[in-house]
Structure 1
Amino acid sequence: METCSLCIKARISPAHLRACKLLDVVSPNHLELASLGGPAGSMSTNYRRQASETFVYQFLDTGMGPNGEGTIVVRCGEHGCFIISRTYAARWFPAFHAYSPDRAVDVIGTDR
């Protein structure tokens, strides 16, 4: 599932969370993740690694994926990405910077 940050409301509906239980991989950015798993009003344009980790565990606890074995890839721009599932230990990966350290490219490694 690729979410659209422009479409995210202050809170995601229960129907959206039920749909996530059918998916193998969900890849929100850190703002979208906050709307999925964070408390009301938690969406902020300021990146906070600890908040992303807290929200991803809350989201994982909702039973993401078939049999609760789905994978969550949180895209955090120049901060890299955070990958977790119930069968894969949580791990941060650095952003890949090409040509200029000011520009993050392909933080989830799909451009290989």
Structure 2
Amino acid sequence: MDGQTERRADIGKTKGVAPPVKLTIVTYRDIFLWSERYKENGQPAAALVRLSPKDLADLGIAAGEKLKLTNEEGSIVVDVLAEPKCPSGYGYMPVSPLVNRLTTCRHGKLPNFKHIEVKAEALES
């Protein structure tokens, strides 16, 4: 097992109830997150993704639960917020060092912050 796979394995146990859902993450800048970098529990304030209610139902989770986002670049664990305006199949995340773990630079010199393909899985509580 290589180092990358080992790091992914210890991020969290998935629920395994609903199958993983493929999502496209689109990032946005949020000026309010810069003033509050960490929550009371020490988790980064930017560790959140906004998903459509349909995607939440497909994943078998509710708003406020944890979600594991994985692609070939890495894995992260984030809180989920319901966003009715979000189209199904897309997730919105604030730009942060956390989301940088999922970005790629394959098609040019700039990192891809607007079209990050991930697999989303619900985590056990």
Going by fraction, where is strand more abundant, 1 or 2?
2
Q: Normalising by structure 1, what TM-score?
A: 0.29
Task: Name which structure has the greater RCO, CA cutoff 8 Å, separation 6+.
Answer: 2
Q: Normalising by structure 2, what TM-score?
A: 0.27
Going by fraction, where is helix more abundant, 1 or 2?
1
